[in-house]
């Protein structure tokens, strides 16, 4: 659907341009993306259940969204106050704090989901090892 000026009403191209900008310019966002891919790979290896996947996807989204919002706030503050200003710094620090909170929550959730999976895998390895190489 387009408006009278021929522009998309939904703005997908703008959203995609914004994501492209964040990916190409923000190292922290790329780090979060790589970490997300590693978590997804681990989820595949450990064959997570549907509810576990739902939680993993939600916390990954939570971190990525807060990183995009943080980047937006930082760029806006740099535009409005190019010089160093204590209030601008406080605003940017608060936005970065939101990313930190979301990342810590994601790590805690990841530990809650993956530690039991890892322990179960280790137990299976030891049981299989003991069955193959019994004590004399």
Does 67 participate in catalysis according to the annotation?
A: yes
Map residue 2 onto helix, strand or coil: strand
User: Which residue in 26, 49, 67, 74 is the catalytic one?
Assistant: 67
Is 29 in contact with 64 (CB distance < 8 Å)? yes
Four-CA torsion 94, 100, 102, 28, nearest 10 degrees: 100
Q: Which of 36, 29, 84, 90 is nearest to 59 (CA)?
A: 36
| Distance (Å, whole) CA 115 – CA 113 | 6
Burial of 96 (0-12, 13-18, 19+ CB in 10 A): middle
Q: Which of 105, 94, 121, 26 is nearest to 59 (CA)?
A: 105
Q: Active-site residues: which are they?
A: 67
């Amino acid at each position: 659907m387009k408006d009278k000026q021929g522009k998309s009403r939904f703005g997908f191209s703008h959203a995609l341009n914004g994501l492209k900008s964040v990916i190409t310019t923000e190292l922290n966002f790329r780090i979060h993306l790589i970490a997300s891919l590693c978590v997804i790979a681990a989820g595949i290896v450990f064959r997570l259940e549907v509810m576990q996947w739902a939680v993993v996807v939600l916390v990954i989204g939570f971190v990525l969204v807060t990183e995009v919002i943080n980047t937006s706030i930082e760029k806006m503050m740099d535009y409005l106050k190019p010089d160093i200003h204590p209030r601008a710094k406080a605003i940017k620090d608060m936005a970065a704090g939101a990313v930190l909170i979301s990342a810590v929550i994601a790590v805690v959730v990841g530990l809650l989901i993956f530690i039991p999976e890892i322990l179960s895998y280790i137990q299976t390895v030891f049981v299989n090892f003991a069955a193959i190489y019994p004590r004399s």
